[in-house]
Amino acid sequence: MTKDFTLDIYKELLKSAIGAGYKLTSYEDYIVNGHNYEKVFILRHDVDDLPGNSYQTALIEKELGAKGSYFFRVVRQSLHPAIIEKIRDLGHEIAYHYEDMALCNGDVDKAYEHFKTKLEMFRQFYPVRTICMHGSPLSKWDNRLLWKKYNYKELGIIGEPYFDIDFKKVLYITDTGRMWNNETSSVRDKVESGYSFKFKSTHDIIKAFKENKLPAQIMLNIHPQRWTNDPILWQKELVLQGLKNRIKKILVKSKTK
């Protein structure tokens, strides 16, 4: 069995979905045209770090005729204008991975003004119509709290996955924590799912596609920083994520007490 979390295995994952008859598309396209697809595999990418890795997954998707959504943060390790433009020019969606409540220390009015400013910045690259919260695991602020007072749809936003997808009907698969749907290493990237699939590796997901065991609508969320064919970078990410997961487990336990 080949090593997991490589670009090669990511390509195999996408090919298995295509072979099973799924339309591989962006979140924006799903909102607008999803009703036309018998089987749909939404490709969401949270660009938390190492944006160059996102360009590599974007190239793979372009090669396979797929379209993905790339959610960029405003922090230095994510925001890279040249790479945003390259990914956009490949035909992918550019979107905002917002963390304004965390950045503004819970000041909701300040956070909203910050959000609007950064949204317009991203719209210089792409007519952004979807957003998705960043989990900000080290912050006490859940970035989704911004929408208890304000309405993102008034800003021309048509979708935020945690509010606008019924995950009891759409299977959510995320690599948060460099694991698949592992809630012990995820502080906020969780949904109320109508499914109980347990995937220990990407190979398990590929097998499920090949055996036609998955539902007709799926959202995949990957963090491209985790996916590389470079053995040194692969090992570095493995070690660093292991340390992060230990911290996250402590945070998760503290929130459940």
Q: Which amino acid is at 245?
A: N
pTM score above 0.85: yes
CA gap 163, 144 in Å, rounded: 9
Task: Flag whether pLDDT at 83 surpasses 90.
Answer: yes
Q: Where are the domains of the chain?
A: 7-256
The residue written with tokens 């295995």 in the block is: 9
CB contact set of 62 (below 8 Å; sequence gap of 6+): 90, 91, 92
Task: Flag whether pLDDT at 251 surpasses 60.
Answer: no
Task: Flag whether pLDDT at 113 surpasses 90.
Answer: yes
3-state secondary structure of 127: coil
Q: Is the dihedral of CA 194, 197, 200, 203 positive or negative?
A: negative
What is the CATH class of 7-256? alpha beta
CA gap 44, 60 in Å, rounded: 14
Reported confidence tier of residue 224, pLDDT bands at 50, 70, 90: very high
